[in-house]
Structure formats: structure tokens, C-alpha cells
């Protein structure tokens, strides 16, 4: 049984290993993303959060997912290009994964075990906050804007 988020790994959008231990002693906001969603403009707020707080120890981790109305149909190169050219995304992105169902990435299964139902993504741009120690702190629904007081407050408290 995994003790913390640091026990998991993703792949970067470029295909390299991305163990979450990379972010030990950082606060991580894990967000499942999609390029063709009505909430896609949240990339702007996520990038602003990242630029405002990264020097204090925040990492925003974008996790592309195509499980909600097929709104992330592209391959990794297309997703990366879209994020960089349309939204100047500078925060790390993973390769595309499942965030629910039979093929769920183990991180999301663990987060559900930590936080219960609020950790299960119901749509794109669901957010899970991980503390410096790798423990799940909270989950925020897709419609909660990245710069909402409840998110920035939780981040500041965790930093």
C-alpha cells in the first residue's frame, strides 16, 4: 500500500519517467486537463498560479485525460503544442492517462483512498492538492477556478 503520492510515477508528455519523488518537499496541484473542454481556459489560471507560487515551492502538474466526452483526442505532441502555443503553459505535463474506471492511474486510486469521493474526477480540470510530505490535502471540483480563494488559501497554508 502506497504511503504517499511520492510512491507513484507518471510519464512526462515527452515520454520520460516522472516519479513524484521529483516533487518531494514541494506542494503539488495535480489537475486532469483537456484541450477541447469549456473549462480549457483554466490553463491561464493554472499557469498564473504556477508562476506566482513556484518560487515558494508549488508545482502544477497537468495530467491530460480523454475520458470526459473525448475532449482530449490528440496525441502527446499535439497536446504539448496546444498548451504551449495557446496558453504558454510552462508547468509540467504528463502523458495521457485514465483518471477513473478500470484503467485508472494508481495515483488517482490512492487519492480516492485518501480523500474519498471528492478526489474522484467527475470532469476535466478536477484538482487534487498534495502537501510537501506527499499526503493528499484536498480536492477541488472542475468549476473551481485555479485562482479561487479556497485553492490559493490551501496552497499558501501548505507552503
Domains present along the chain, CATH in parentheses? 29-133+144-158 (3.40.30.10)
Q: Which of 37, 39, 115, 148 is catalytic?
A: 37
Which sign, positive or negative, has the C-alpha torsion 25, 45, 84, 99? positive
Render each residue's pLDDT in the chain as its tens digit; 159 residues: 679 999 999 999 999 999 999 999 999 999 999 999 999 999 999 999 999 999 999 999 999 999 999 999 999 999 999 999 999 999 999 999 999 999 999 999 999 999 999 999 999 999 999 999 999 999 999 999 999 999 999 999 999
pTM beyond 0.85: the answer is: yes
* Beta strands per DSSP E along 8-144: 9-11, 17-19, 27-33, 58-64, 127-130, 136-140
- Report DSSP state, residue 75: -
Residue 5 in grid coordinates? 503520492
Whole-number pLDDT of residue 74: 94
Known active-site residue 83: no
Amino acid at each position: 500500500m502506497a504511503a504517499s503520492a511520492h510512491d507513484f510515477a507518471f510519464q512526462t508528455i515527452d515520454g520520460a519517467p516522472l516519479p513524484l519523488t521529483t516533487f518531494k518537499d514541494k506542494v503539488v496541484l495535480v489537475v486532469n486537463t483537456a484541450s477541447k473542454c469549456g473549462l480549457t481556459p483554466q490553463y491561464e489560471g493554472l499557469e498564473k498560479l504556477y508562476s506566482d507560487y513556484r518560487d515558494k515551492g508549488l508545482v502544477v502538474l497537468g495530467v491530460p485525460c480523454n475520458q470526459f466526452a473525448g475532449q482530449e483526442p490528440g496525441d502527446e505532441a499535439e497536446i504539448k503544442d496546444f498548451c504551449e502555443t495557446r496558453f504558454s503553459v510552462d508547468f509540467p505535463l504528463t502523458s495521457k492517462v485514465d483518471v477513473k474506471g478500470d484503467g485508472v492511474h494508481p495515483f488517482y486510486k490512492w487519492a480516492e483512498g485518501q480523500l474519498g469521493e471528492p478526489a474522484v474526477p467527475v470532469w476535466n480540470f478536477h484538482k487534487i492538492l498534495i502537501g510537501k510530505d506527499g499526503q493528499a490535502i484536498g480536492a477541488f471540483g472542475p468549476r473551481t477556478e485555479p485562482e479561487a480563494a479556497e485553492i490559493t488559501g490551501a496552497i499558501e497554508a501548505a507552503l
